Structure 1
């Protein structure tokens, strides 16, 4: 047994306290954990019990970091795992946090994939091929991607993405217009056939003509 000689608030770490045993610093933990487990100055405690509380504290810190990371936008499981690993949290705490987040629905890769696809469609339209690649990079399973992403609306998404750019290119002759707008759409993951159709559609709108211009 050891005697808790002091419990002091941590400077610069709100809500945390430092625990001193027999006049020497032993560990730091959340004040709420110290209170919940009855730590108080002058009390006696087993060293093994404090080690267990350090584990509880480490898990609580990892969970708090994950929740703060998720507060900005939904994340995939891989994103959360990588963020916690960069924070130097122990692997066992990372996996336990992810289990908790999955259980309460804070991490859901299928839901995240739908969110990502809808956000891309609304704010930054891209080809289905590029969206699928982005989701793979975020650790989403192939089966989930296939359920969420298809190319049925690529034509309209490409048209939406290209309209503003086409306005910027309106003074160019058709060959330059086609090359620059086509490159713009290719960088956004659209296929050649989709790009060709959209470029011609926007050129016809500019010229007020329904004629095919591919031969120009």
Structure 2
């Protein structure tokens, strides 16, 4: 048996207390506990503890410290169960204590993968240009089940997806003036799919894009690309061969044949 000889407040952590014990050979530091455990277990000077009781107190205090870590981790934002487990594991929390903490967090309604998924979806809708498929991938990587991810994505309506995809598409087209309109559309479709938008949304966006109103914009793109092609081929070919090379190169870039022909007539000088 050991007797508690002193209880002192830690200098840097006023809510923690050092317990000094005497095993019959003089006083020495025994262990430390939180204020909560000190009060709950009625620890006081002169109290006797056996080895089992000391071990149990240390384990309770470790559990309380790990639980406090989890609460602190949750204070920044909602977390998935997987995130909490990984965080506590990095903090070298005993696996059995992790299970106890996870159970307690669920019981106290501080942990819910469904609420976490709902929150993340709402956040992504307002802060990113990701489509639902990409968001679902994010959720699954964070340990959320496919079923809960699908449930959360009901918050991301088709109308919201269309609006976000269309806004991105219009911005993308405005910045792609040096490419043919057809090539811009092809690139846009690919980018929207990569961002996680479904084919239905992508096709709806493409179908409702405003017609290219300014023919001059397409013409300027033809000129820009055509001059690059000319510089590439004019030292290697001339006449009919040069025209064919320019035509082929511009056609592969997605320009219409009438625009290409206009460029040939205006810019490719007959020898």
Question: Which TM bucket (shorter chain)?
Answer: 0.7 to 0.9
Farther off after superposition, 16-25 or 181-190: 181-190
On the 8 A contact 1:170/1:206 being kept in 2, the answer is no
Contact 1:130 1:189 in 2 (8 A): yes
1:40 is matched with which residue: 34, 44, 47?
Answer: 44
Query: TM-score, normalized by length of structure 1?
Result: 0.80
Gaps of 5+ in 2: 216-253, 257-271
**Cα distance 1:121–1:208, how it changes in 2: closer, same or farther (>3 A)?**
farther
Aligned-residue offset at 1:115 = 1.3
Q: Assess, with a 3 A threshold, how the Cα gap between structure 1 residues 152 and 37 changes in structure 2: closer, same or farther.
A: closer
User: Any idea what SS the aligned residue of 2:197 has?
Assistant: coil
CA displacement, residues 158-199 of structure 1 (integer Å, 9 cap, x when unaligned) = 2244455555x1654436744665565344223566446546
Matches within 5 A, 1:1-216: 1-22=1-22, 23-149=27-153, 153=158, 154-164=161-171, 166=173, 169=175, 171-173=177-179, 174=181, 177-178=184-185, 181-182=188-189, 184-191=191-198, 194-195=201-202, 198=205, 201=208, 204=210, 207=213
Moved over 6 A (4+): none
- Conserved? CA contact 1:120–1:126, under 8 Å: yes
- Between stretches 130-139 and 186-195, larger displacement belongs to 186-195
Deviation, 1:8, is: 2.3
Which one has a bigger Cα radius of gyration?
2
Whether the 8 Å contact between 2:7 and 2:18 is mirrored in structure 1 is: yes
SS in 2 for 1:149: helix
Greater mean deviation of Cα atoms: 131-140 or 172-181: 172-181
CA displacement at 1:6 relative to structure 2: 2.1
Distance 1:4 1:152, change over 3 A: closer
Aligned length in residues: 210
Provide the C-alpha distance between the structure 1 equivalents of 2:171 and 2:68, rounded to a whole number of angstroms.
Answer: 42
Report the Cα distance in structure 1 between the residues aligned to 2:11 and 2:170, rounded to whole angstroms.
55
Instruction: Answer whether contact 2:182 2:255 (CA < 8 A) is retained.
Output: no
* Structure 1 residues 23-54: Cα deviation after superposition (integer angstroms, max 9, x where no partner): 11221211331232222233322232121111
Structure with larger RCO (C-alpha < 8 A, sep 6+): 1
Q: Secondary structure at the match of 1:72?
A: coil
Give ranges in structure 1 of 5+ residues lacking alignment: none
Q: Assess if the C-alpha contact under 8 Å between 1:16 and 1:31 holds in 2.
A: yes
CA 1:188/1:30 → structure 2, altered by over 3 Å: closer, same or farther?
A: same
What is the alpha-carbon distance in structure 2 between the residues aligned to residue 207 and residue 18 of structure 1? 78
- CA root-mean-square deviation: 3.0
